Amino acid sequence: MERTKTLFVSAHDRRWSRMASRVLKRWSVILSMVAVPFAFVQAQAPSATAAQARVSKDFMVGHEQVWMSTELDVRPGERVALSAGGSARCPGVPGSFGPEGTPRQFSDLLRTLPAPEAGRGALIGRIGAPPVAVPFIVGSRVDTVSSSGGVLALGVNRAESDACTVAFDVHVDVFPAEDTRAVRVPSRVETLDGVNEGLFSNMPRRLEDEQGNAGDMVNLLILGSEEHMRKMFASAGWITVDRDVIGALISGAIATLSKEAYLRLPMSPLYLFGRPQDYGWAHAEPITVVASRHHLRLWRAPFQISSSTVWVGAATHDIGFERDRRNNGITHRIDPNVDAEREFVEQTLTGTGMVRTFTYFLPAPAIREGTTATGGYFYSDGRVLALKLDEAQSNN
């Protein structure tokens, strides 16, 4: 009986073997028919390696400094392909790691890193001048398109005092812009439609606190939809800021649990058009945000210009702490030269490729100096930065 069962199984296996053989033969014929056309399609398909690079160079990134200039001038719209190898070591991290860096640990919350979202010791890049240019993660490979252009710099995601040992070899290919028509470099113009004396004579020129004390001056206008405004700020490295202390504490706890640096310290409410700001935006790095950060408040205006939503804002730069003259409490101290912050905003936002045109307008009477709601002094040439967003470009 056992022998009969064995013979049956063997016969069964032989039948399946013959069937499998026939199926494989049929697929072999089919594959032989499509192999040549498929190979031809692959050879004809455009790829990064098939394109002709305008510049190809190799670099060695070490630990002597956080950033190293490649002296390669990247033009707006050009594609930059980077590939890297090598290894690095950082104190407190067992073993070595590659250009992707090592996952950030809880203790890394105390470190100020150029790219907070990247691993410690990771290879990073930057196109343009600091502090306007936003660092991006390179890792072992990245392919990116430059929106505003500038000199390419390579760096290591570490603090100045972090004694990491790094040896990354990096290959850089810069490819010409594939379609220059898709690249819009914002143009500075003499005037923008609707940005005139009539506009400023019908809107507040200073912010106020809850008690009605005059504060920061309005020095920013943005013409564009809410969606595109938000996308532009995010692309430029700005983050939204929590509106109140309770929200900030909750978010801070979540950020700590997820081992992410927390940048969104609360921004006190100020008033324009009879209400607190609709958006608070900050541009800073971990820990240093406590004492120093670029920040601005935005309000949606109760009017439009040529069917465009108008955002009215005030930008200042926190550089430390000082006494709040209203209640003797502690408040942020701003850089009195508010024009420098206005120009920082211009450089970061126009570098995204999402601004069509911009101008500086001098309303009358010009605000040349004043004090914030907390009593801090500021001075200005009185001009207001006005940006018209490129809605079509923002959709890309």
Q: Which residues pair with 127 in a beta bridge?
A: 152
Tokens of 244: 């109140």
> Rounded CA gap, 257 and 255, in Å?
5
pLDDT score recorded for residue 179: 67
The model carries a pTM of 0.70
Query: Secondary structure of 258-318 in the HEC alphabet?
Result: CCCCCCCCCCCCCEECCEECCEEEEECCCCHHHCCEEEEEEEEEEEEECCEEEEEEEEEEE
Spatial contact of 356 and 222, defined as CB atoms under 8 Å apart: no
pLDDT digits (tens, 9 = 90+) for 334-371: 899 999 999 999 999 998 889 999 999 999 999 999 99
Mean pLDDT of 134-145: 94
Q: Is the pLDDT of residue 96 over 70?
A: yes
Residue 321 confidence class, pLDDT cut points 50, 70, 90: confident
pLDDT score recorded for residue 15: 47
Residue 287 confidence class, pLDDT cut points 50, 70, 90: very low
Q: Could you tell me the maximum CA-CA distance found in the chain, to the nearest angstrom?
A: 110
pLDDT score recorded for residue 335: 93
pLDDT digits (tens, 9 = 90+) for 214-266: 999 999 999 999 999 999 999 888 988 876 655 555 555 545 433 334 456 67
> Rounded CA gap, 206 and 34, in Å?
71
pLDDT digits (tens, 9 = 90+) for 37-94: 322 222 233 344 447 999 999 999 999 889 999 999 999 889 999 999 999 999 989 9
Spatial contact of 359 and 349, defined as CB atoms under 8 Å apart: no
Spatial contact of 268 and 261, defined as CB atoms under 8 Å apart: no
Whole-number average pLDDT of the chain: 81
pLDDT score recorded for residue 258: 37
**Tell me, what amino acid is at 112?**
T
Q: Closest by alpha carbon to 170, among 99, 89, 121?
A: 99
pLDDT score recorded for residue 3: 41
Q: Is the dihedral of CA 180, 184, 189, 193 positive or negative?
A: positive
Radius of gyration of the chain (CA): 28
Rounded to a whole number of angstroms, the distance between the first and last alpha carbons of the chain is 74
Structural domains in the chain? Answer: 55-182 (2.60.120.430), 187-394 (no CATH)
pLDDT score recorded for residue 35: 33
> Rounded CA gap, 80 and 59, in Å?
14
